[in-house]
Chains A and B, each alone.
Chain A
């Protein structure tokens, strides 16, 4: 598996009360991440691959691994579509 890497030169972010607001620098669009979305975002640290990310979430959150994996897949897909994520 390959490590998940945020393309940090393409966005800026701020953490407010455990929620994260991200702005794309190319078009100024915002989006917010709360709860598991924010947790996934924080766990994308350039070292973990998808399996390690799911392991980390499964240790902290209730719910089946398959359910967590589906949430992770969906968010990673959205982040790739936004051009904010690279698979090294």
Chain B
């Protein structure tokens, strides 16, 4: 039947489509890579983005190069620590690939409930992974650890891609959360891979809420008004990668942040960083997530 109705924009990806893009673009091969994308050779532990290409230098002569459409190429030097390679690939490289392909990586760990994602964000060492691991004992499966990738291609809603990283916990957090401990993450990194008690979710789901982890007396406090915009001023590495990849002008960057601020429900989860109160804070988070 003929229909003159407008068709959905081709810019709007299907949720499975975004996952497939990331699977395709993050495939890895080994070989020589350029030493810089522009200017001088890269110092260790720095990166460059130029157009649809990304170059990261890890420790020593360990290089990671990505170009849209051709995937990731890794060049290992004689001194490369191979136990760190997965961390680089799943960290900055993955976030750069997401950013270059129009997806937004944010620094957060998340659980799923009732077909939606509840993400916890905060500075490094604020307890994101520990909380998500502990919520497994309340029956909430993990959605992602450390990096949450958002698909913004549908203007009406924000969709989360399932996490690509395994849960990593420090030894004391393993004991606190009763997660199942597996192998050590790397020679130099004092964390262990773990299996969350309620398993993991591997399908894309809409974002329900972003909760900001803060220290203080136990409380759940909604974030409203202009503060929601201020909370989107993120200076984490993932945000810098996105900014470098998208190269928005001021007005477009404002529009992007305004969209996030108006579409994402935000809450402060305030809790004491006191081991004796840990179960209380986890119970509060669980009841908040499951009451919705």
A binding-site residues for B, Cβ under 8 Å: 12, 14, 16-21, 23, 25, 28, 30, 32-34
Contacts and interface: CB of A to CB of B under 8 A. Distances in A.
A32 B225 contact: yes
26 contacts: A12-B251, A12-B254, A12-B255, A12-B258, A14-B254, A14-B258, A14-B262, A16-B224, A16-B258, A16-B261, A16-B262, A17-B224, A17-B228, A18-B225, A19-B224, A19-B225, A21-B229, A21-B258, A23-B254, A25-B250, A28-B250, A32-B225, A32-B226, A32-B229, A33-B226, A34-B226
B229 A16 contact: yes
Nearest to B255: A12
Contacts of B250: 12, 23, 25, 28
Contacts of A23: 250, 254
A34 B227 CA distance: 11
Given A32-B225, A33-B226, 10 more contacts: A14-B229, A14-B262, A16-B226, A16-B258, A17-B228, A18-B225, A19-B225, A23-B250, A28-B250, A34-B225
Contact of B226 (A12, A19, A25): A19
Interface residues of B, number: 13
Query: Interface of chain B, helix or strand or loop or mixed?
Result: helix
A10 B258 CA distance: 17
Contacts of B255: 12
B261 A14 contact: yes
Contacts of A19: 224-226
A25 B252 CA distance: 11
B146 to A, nearest CB: 28
Nearest to B229: A21
Nearest to B261: A16
B264 to A, nearest CB: 11
Interface in B196-230: 224-226, 228-230
A13 B224 CA distance: 16
Contacts of B251: 12, 25
Contacts of A14: 229, 254, 258, 261-262
Interface string B244-286: 0000001100110010011000000000000000000000000
Contacts of B226: 16, 19-21, 32-34
A68 B62 CA distance: 65
B232 to A, nearest CB: 10
Contacts of B224: 16-17, 19
Nearest to A19: B225
A14 B255 CA distance: 8
Contacts of A18: 225
A82 B189 CA distance: 49
A15 B26 CA distance: 38
**5 nearest interchain CB pairs?**
A32-B226, A19-B225, A14-B258, A17-B224, A17-B225
Contacts of B262: 14, 16
A19 B229 CA distance: 10
A20 B254 CA distance: 13
Contacts of B230: 32
B98 to A, nearest CB: 25
A48 to B, nearest CB: 24
Contacts of A16: 224-226, 228-229, 258, 261-262
A33 B225 CA distance: 10
A33 B229 CA distance: 12
